[in-house]
Amino acid sequence: MTRTSRGGSRGGFQWTLLEAAAMLSVTFSMFMVKEALSSIGWVETLGPGARLPLRVSVLALYYAAQIGVIVWLVRRRGGDVFAALGLRHESRTFRGVAVSVGLVIGGLALTRSVASAYAYFTREIGLLPRSGTDMLTLFGNDVAGLVLAILMVVLVGPVVEEAVFRGALQEGIAARAGMWPGIVLQAALFAAFHRSWWLLFPMFVLGVVLGWLAERTDSLWPPIALHALYNAITVAAVFLVSGAA
Protein backbone atom coordinates (compact mmCIF):
# COMPACT_ATOMS: atom_id res chain seq x y z
CA MET A 1 0.00 0.00 0.00
CA THR A 2 1.51 3.30 -1.10
CA ARG A 3 0.70 6.71 0.28
CA THR A 4 1.50 9.73 -1.87
CA SER A 5 1.19 13.50 -1.58
CA ARG A 6 -2.17 13.18 -3.34
CA GLY A 7 -3.47 10.59 -0.92
CA GLY A 8 -3.16 6.88 -1.49
CA SER A 9 -5.57 4.03 -0.99
CA ARG A 10 -6.11 2.30 2.32
CA GLY A 11 -6.65 -1.43 2.16
CA GLY A 12 -7.00 -1.17 -1.61
CA PHE A 13 -9.92 1.27 -1.21
CA GLN A 14 -9.70 4.84 -2.46
CA TRP A 15 -12.36 7.27 -1.27
CA THR A 16 -13.63 9.53 -4.06
CA LEU A 17 -14.45 13.22 -3.85
CA LEU A 18 -18.10 12.38 -4.55
CA GLU A 19 -18.19 9.94 -1.65
CA ALA A 20 -16.52 12.51 0.60
CA ALA A 21 -19.18 15.07 -0.37
CA ALA A 22 -21.94 12.52 0.23
CA MET A 23 -20.53 11.70 3.66
CA LEU A 24 -20.30 15.38 4.55
CA SER A 25 -23.91 15.93 3.43
CA VAL A 26 -25.11 13.02 5.54
CA THR A 27 -23.16 14.20 8.57
CA PHE A 28 -24.54 17.74 8.21
CA SER A 29 -28.10 16.49 7.69
CA MET A 30 -27.94 14.16 10.69
CA PHE A 31 -26.42 16.96 12.76
CA MET A 32 -29.36 19.22 11.94
CA VAL A 33 -31.81 16.44 12.78
CA LYS A 34 -30.01 15.81 16.07
CA GLU A 35 -30.13 19.49 16.99
CA ALA A 36 -33.80 19.76 16.04
CA LEU A 37 -34.79 16.71 18.08
CA SER A 38 -32.74 17.85 21.06
CA SER A 39 -34.31 21.31 21.09
CA ILE A 40 -37.98 20.35 20.69
CA GLY A 41 -39.98 22.27 23.27
CA TRP A 42 -41.69 19.33 24.90
CA VAL A 43 -38.35 17.71 25.68
CA GLU A 44 -37.74 20.41 28.29
CA THR A 45 -41.04 19.51 29.98
CA LEU A 46 -39.84 15.98 30.67
CA GLY A 47 -38.30 15.11 33.98
CA PRO A 48 -34.53 14.55 34.22
CA GLY A 49 -35.12 10.80 34.35
CA ALA A 50 -36.67 10.85 30.86
CA ARG A 51 -34.86 13.82 29.32
CA LEU A 52 -31.34 12.42 29.77
CA PRO A 53 -31.98 9.01 28.11
CA LEU A 54 -33.78 10.74 25.23
CA ARG A 55 -30.93 13.16 24.51
CA VAL A 56 -28.29 10.44 24.77
CA SER A 57 -30.35 8.20 22.47
CA VAL A 58 -30.54 10.99 19.87
CA LEU A 59 -26.76 11.42 20.07
CA ALA A 60 -26.26 7.65 19.72
CA LEU A 61 -28.51 7.56 16.64
CA TYR A 62 -26.56 10.49 15.17
CA TYR A 63 -23.34 8.52 15.46
CA ALA A 64 -24.90 5.25 14.32
CA ALA A 65 -26.32 6.82 11.16
CA GLN A 66 -22.91 8.11 10.11
CA ILE A 67 -21.23 4.76 10.68
CA GLY A 68 -24.03 3.08 8.75
CA VAL A 69 -23.44 5.31 5.73
CA ILE A 70 -19.67 4.76 5.86
CA VAL A 71 -20.17 1.00 5.94
CA TRP A 72 -22.58 1.19 3.00
CA LEU A 73 -20.26 3.39 0.92
CA VAL A 74 -17.34 1.00 1.39
CA ARG A 75 -19.22 -2.25 0.94
CA ARG A 76 -21.07 -1.10 -2.16
CA ARG A 77 -17.69 -1.19 -3.91
CA GLY A 78 -16.64 -4.43 -2.26
CA GLY A 79 -14.22 -2.84 0.17
CA ASP A 80 -13.22 -3.88 3.67
CA VAL A 81 -14.51 -1.23 6.09
CA PHE A 82 -11.71 -1.60 8.65
CA ALA A 83 -9.00 -1.63 6.00
CA ALA A 84 -10.55 1.30 4.09
CA LEU A 85 -10.47 3.42 7.26
CA GLY A 86 -6.95 2.40 8.24
CA LEU A 87 -8.13 0.32 11.18
CA ARG A 88 -6.62 -2.99 10.11
CA HIS A 89 -2.89 -3.65 10.32
CA GLU A 90 -1.61 -7.20 10.18
CA SER A 91 2.01 -6.33 10.96
CA ARG A 92 3.15 -3.48 13.17
CA THR A 93 6.71 -3.38 14.45
CA PHE A 94 7.55 -2.34 17.98
CA ARG A 95 9.39 0.67 16.57
CA GLY A 96 6.34 1.68 14.53
CA VAL A 97 4.07 1.44 17.56
CA ALA A 98 6.54 3.42 19.68
CA VAL A 99 6.72 6.16 17.04
CA SER A 100 2.92 6.33 16.89
CA VAL A 101 2.68 6.60 20.69
CA GLY A 102 5.26 9.38 20.67
CA LEU A 103 3.39 11.25 17.96
CA VAL A 104 0.12 10.93 19.88
CA ILE A 105 1.71 12.28 23.07
CA GLY A 106 3.38 15.12 21.17
CA GLY A 107 0.16 15.94 19.34
CA LEU A 108 -1.77 15.99 22.61
CA ALA A 109 0.73 18.35 24.21
CA LEU A 110 0.61 20.67 21.20
CA THR A 111 -3.16 20.79 20.79
CA ARG A 112 -3.92 21.19 24.49
CA SER A 113 -1.29 23.94 24.73
CA VAL A 114 -2.91 25.77 21.82
CA ALA A 115 -6.35 25.36 23.41
CA SER A 116 -5.13 26.65 26.78
CA ALA A 117 -3.29 29.61 25.26
CA TYR A 118 -6.29 30.53 23.14
CA ALA A 119 -8.65 30.29 26.14
CA TYR A 120 -6.32 32.57 28.14
CA PHE A 121 -6.15 35.05 25.26
CA THR A 122 -9.94 35.17 24.80
CA ARG A 123 -10.41 35.75 28.52
CA GLU A 124 -7.88 38.58 28.50
CA ILE A 125 -9.71 40.44 25.73
CA GLY A 126 -13.12 39.81 27.28
CA LEU A 127 -14.32 37.08 24.95
CA LEU A 128 -14.90 34.46 27.58
CA PRO A 129 -15.02 30.93 26.20
CA ARG A 130 -18.12 28.93 26.77
CA SER A 131 -18.04 26.66 29.79
CA GLY A 132 -19.03 23.02 29.91
CA THR A 133 -22.69 23.95 30.39
CA ASP A 134 -23.76 22.18 27.21
CA MET A 135 -22.09 18.95 28.26
CA LEU A 136 -23.60 19.11 31.73
CA THR A 137 -27.02 19.90 30.28
CA LEU A 138 -26.79 16.90 28.02
CA PHE A 139 -25.40 14.34 30.45
CA GLY A 140 -26.06 15.77 33.90
CA ASN A 141 -23.42 16.42 36.57
CA ASP A 142 -23.69 13.24 38.62
CA VAL A 143 -21.81 9.95 38.39
CA ALA A 144 -24.20 8.58 35.77
CA GLY A 145 -23.65 11.72 33.70
CA LEU A 146 -19.88 11.31 33.95
CA VAL A 147 -20.10 7.69 32.80
CA LEU A 148 -22.29 8.65 29.85
CA ALA A 149 -19.96 11.51 28.92
CA ILE A 150 -16.99 9.14 28.94
CA LEU A 151 -18.88 6.63 26.80
CA MET A 152 -20.17 9.08 24.20
CA VAL A 153 -17.55 11.86 24.19
CA VAL A 154 -14.36 9.95 24.94
CA LEU A 155 -15.01 6.51 23.44
CA VAL A 156 -17.68 6.66 20.73
CA GLY A 157 -17.39 10.23 19.44
CA PRO A 158 -13.70 10.15 18.46
CA VAL A 159 -14.13 6.88 16.52
CA VAL A 160 -17.06 8.24 14.50
CA GLU A 161 -15.55 11.68 13.89
CA GLU A 162 -12.21 10.25 12.82
CA ALA A 163 -13.94 7.86 10.42
CA VAL A 164 -15.91 10.74 8.88
CA PHE A 165 -13.35 13.56 8.82
CA ARG A 166 -9.94 11.89 8.69
CA GLY A 167 -11.24 8.78 6.98
CA ALA A 168 -13.79 9.44 4.24
CA LEU A 169 -13.61 13.25 3.95
CA GLN A 170 -9.85 13.80 4.06
CA GLU A 171 -9.10 10.85 1.79
CA GLY A 172 -11.72 11.88 -0.76
CA ILE A 173 -10.42 15.44 -0.98
CA ALA A 174 -6.78 14.30 -1.05
CA ALA A 175 -7.50 11.94 -3.93
CA ARG A 176 -8.48 14.94 -6.07
CA ALA A 177 -6.59 17.92 -4.60
CA GLY A 178 -3.63 16.46 -2.69
CA MET A 179 -2.72 15.59 0.89
CA TRP A 180 -2.42 19.06 2.43
CA PRO A 181 -5.59 20.48 0.83
CA GLY A 182 -7.34 17.39 2.20
CA ILE A 183 -5.95 17.95 5.68
CA VAL A 184 -6.70 21.69 5.76
CA LEU A 185 -10.21 21.46 4.29
CA GLN A 186 -11.36 18.66 6.56
CA ALA A 187 -9.88 20.52 9.56
CA ALA A 188 -11.84 23.66 8.64
CA LEU A 189 -15.06 21.67 8.32
CA PHE A 190 -14.29 19.80 11.55
CA ALA A 191 -13.88 23.12 13.37
CA ALA A 192 -17.05 24.56 11.83
CA PHE A 193 -19.09 21.58 13.01
CA HIS A 194 -18.34 22.50 16.63
CA ARG A 195 -20.47 25.65 16.18
CA SER A 196 -18.47 27.84 18.52
CA TRP A 197 -16.48 30.93 17.56
CA TRP A 198 -14.13 30.58 20.52
CA LEU A 199 -13.50 26.91 19.68
CA LEU A 200 -12.97 27.53 15.98
CA PHE A 201 -9.19 28.03 16.07
CA PRO A 202 -8.34 25.29 18.62
CA MET A 203 -10.53 22.79 16.77
CA PHE A 204 -8.93 23.74 13.45
CA VAL A 205 -5.48 23.13 14.90
CA LEU A 206 -6.67 19.83 16.37
CA GLY A 207 -8.12 18.85 13.00
CA VAL A 208 -4.86 19.61 11.20
CA VAL A 209 -2.82 17.61 13.72
CA LEU A 210 -5.24 14.68 13.54
CA GLY A 211 -5.21 14.79 9.75
CA TRP A 212 -1.43 14.89 9.57
CA LEU A 213 -1.20 12.06 12.10
CA ALA A 214 -3.55 9.92 9.99
CA GLU A 215 -1.34 10.50 6.95
CA ARG A 216 1.93 10.06 8.82
CA THR A 217 0.95 6.72 10.36
CA ASP A 218 -1.38 5.54 7.56
CA SER A 219 -3.88 4.56 10.24
CA LEU A 220 -6.84 6.03 12.11
CA TRP A 221 -5.85 4.44 15.42
CA PRO A 222 -3.35 7.16 16.43
CA PRO A 223 -5.80 10.00 15.58
CA ILE A 224 -8.54 8.17 17.48
CA ALA A 225 -6.24 7.83 20.50
CA LEU A 226 -5.24 11.51 20.38
CA HIS A 227 -8.86 12.62 19.90
CA ALA A 228 -10.04 10.46 22.80
CA LEU A 229 -7.32 11.77 25.12
CA TYR A 230 -8.07 15.36 24.12
CA ASN A 231 -11.77 14.85 24.87
CA ALA A 232 -11.00 13.01 28.10
CA ILE A 233 -9.13 16.05 29.42
CA THR A 234 -12.09 18.26 28.47
CA VAL A 235 -14.61 15.96 30.17
CA ALA A 236 -12.46 15.71 33.30
CA ALA A 237 -12.09 19.50 33.48
CA VAL A 238 -15.81 20.12 33.02
CA PHE A 239 -16.88 17.67 35.70
CA LEU A 240 -14.16 18.71 38.15
CA VAL A 241 -15.05 22.39 37.81
CA SER A 242 -18.76 21.59 38.21
CA GLY A 243 -18.05 19.64 41.40
CA ALA A 244 -19.68 16.52 39.99
CA ALA A 245 -19.48 13.37 42.03
pLDDT tens-place string over residues 107-152: 999 999 999 998 888 878 776 655 445 787 778 788 888 999 999 9
pTM for the complete prediction?
0.89
Per-residue pLDDT tens digits for 132-142: 457 877 787 88
pLDDT of residue 105: 98
**At residue 7, what are phi and psi to the nearest 5 degrees?**
85, 120
- Strand, coil or helix: what is 218? coil
**Residue whose C-alpha is closest to residue 162's, from 210, 99, 212, 233:** 210
User: Backbone phi, then psi, for 13, in 5-degree steps?
Assistant: -115, 125
For 104, residues 6+ apart whose C-beta sits below 8 A from its C-beta are 213, 222, 225, 226, 229
Give the contacts of 35 (CB within 8 A, at least 6 positions apart).
none
CA distances to 158, 209, 218, 225 from 105, rounded to whole Å, are 16, 12, 17, 9
Please list, in sequence order, all residues whose beta carbon lies within 8 angstroms of the beta carbon of residue 50, skipping any fewer than 6 positions away.
none
Q: Which residues of the chain have pLDDT under 70?
A: 1-9, 38-51, 89-91, 127-133, 243-245
The pLDDT assigned to 96 comes to 87
